[in-house]
Amino acid sequence: MRDLHANLKTRHALGPFEPRRANLGFVTVPAERLRGLLTELRDVHGFTHLVLLTAVDWMEDGLFQLTYLMNDRAGDRTLGVRVMLNRDEAVGEDMHDLWPTAATYQRELKEMFGIDFPGSPRVDEEFILEGWTDLPPYRRDFDSLAYSQQTYAERPGRVTHDPRAHMKSKLYPEG
């Protein structure tokens, strides 16, 4: 994996290689170099399997991290390619021409994180949510507890405990 990184580093302006295990590592690439890198990994280096595409919200830094997890099945190598996007105008590049399944991931990311992928098929269609008008719910600033309290009525007779205090009272009733 280190050899591969050394081979690709200059050509694709890669960040440092971060190994996790012998057959798993991560690397960051500038957004404008993403397509070139993914295409070369797929067509030249055997990383033909797009395992997943997902996002991580680094709200404090104003960034979204897209992670493209690529797998070389024959060589048993997995590489996580990270791209950082500006959180305020989060737009990723459509990759469905490389892997048709990317369209599903991109559609979900649009709905759950608000990251747009112009040109991706059906990217604006509802995926899981129906009639959703609030913040994209997987963003860190979407408060799921507050949303539930505002949206749903309290069930009569239901009691909520503080988990820590409740466990303490159950485990140590004598105090």
Partner 1 sequence: MLSFQPDRSQYPQPGPDGRLEVDLETGKYLKLWQGPNHPGITGNMSVELTVCGDEVVEGKTHVGYLHRGFEKLMERRTFIQVFPIVCRVCVPEPDFNEYCYAAAVEELAGIEVPEMATWMRTLILEMGRFNSYMMFLGGISGSLGLGLVGQWMTYVRDLMLDRFEELTGARIYHMFILPGGVRGHLPEGFAARMEEVLQTAEKYLADVDRVMFSNSVFRLRTEGVGVIDPALFERFGVTGPNARAGGVVKDVRKDSPYLVYDQLDFIPASGKDSDIFTRVKVRRADIDNSIGLIRQILEKMPKSGPVMARLPNVLHWKIPRGETYIKGECSRGEYGYYMVTDGSGYPRRINVRGPSYTHAMALLEHLIPGTNISDVAALMVSLHTYPPEIER
Instruction: Determine if 64 is a binding residue for partner 1 (CB under 8 A).
Output: no
Answer for which of 128, 134, 149, 169 binds partner 1 (CB under 8 A) is 128
Q: Which stretch binds partner 1 (CB under 8 A): 1-9, 33-41, 125-133, 150-158?
A: 125-133
Answer for which of 6, 44, 52, 91 binds partner 1 (CB under 8 A) is 52
Interaction mask 5-34, partner 1, x per CB under 8 A: ---------------xx-xx-x--------
Answer for which of 100, 118, 134, 149 binds partner 1 (CB under 8 A) is 100
Instruction: Determine if 149 is a binding residue for partner 1 (CB under 8 A).
Output: no
Pairing mode of beta strands 24-28, 49-58? unpaired
The 3-class SS string of 107-165 reads HHHHHHHCCECCCCCCCCCCCCCCCCCCCCCCCCCCCHHHHHHHHCCCCCCCCCCCHHH
Instruction: Determine if 164 is a binding residue for partner 1 (CB under 8 A).
Output: yes
* Shortest Å distance, C-beta 101 to partner 1: 4
On whether the CB atoms of residues 25 and 70 are closer than 8 A, the answer is no
User: Tell me, what DSSP letter sits at residue 60?
Assistant: G
CB nearer to partner 1: pick between 37 and 69: 69
What are φ and ψ of residue 139, in 5° steps? -70, 150
Instruction: Determine if 126 is a binding residue for partner 1 (CB under 8 A).
Output: yes
CA torsion angle 114 116 121 122 (round to 10): 30
Q: Which tokens go with 67? A: 């992670």
Instruction: Determine if 103 is a binding residue for partner 1 (CB under 8 A).
Output: yes
What are φ and ψ of residue 26, in 5° steps? -130, 150
On whether the CB atoms of residues 91 and 117 are closer than 8 A, the answer is yes
The site for partner 1 (CB under 8 A) is made up of 20-21, 23-24, 26, 48-52, 54-57, 67, 69, 73, 76, 78, 80, 99-101, 103-104, 121-122, 126-130, 137-138, 140, 142, 144-145, 164
